[in-house]
Amino acid sequence: MNIIIITIFLKRGVCSMKHMTMVEYEDGSNLRYKVDEWLSENEDKILELLDVEYTQQGEIYMAIITYEERDSE
């Protein structure tokens, strides 16, 4: 299983909106588990979970997590 994690930072007013992308190849059976694991590990950094979108293109499975990051101050 290969997972690629890409984070994009966007500023929206005072909050930072971020996107996390996870990619899995072949059957994608562990992707939802990995998303849940990442969310629980980072719940203290997440102000609001905006969306989790799952897509598939052939044997490539992707999860795009959109969230607002909690201020670190």
Give the integer Cα–Cα distance in Å for 62 and 68: 20
Give the integer Cα–Cα distance in Å for 73 and 59: 41
Find out whether 46 and 56 touch, Cβ atoms under 8 Å: no
DSSP-assigned letter for residue 3: -
Rounded to two decimals, what is the model's pTM?
0.76
Neighbour count for residue 52 (Cβ, 10 Å): 15
Query: pLDDT by residue (tens digit) across 33-57?
Result: 999 999 999 999 999 999 999 999 9
CATH number attached to the domain at 4-69: 3.30.70
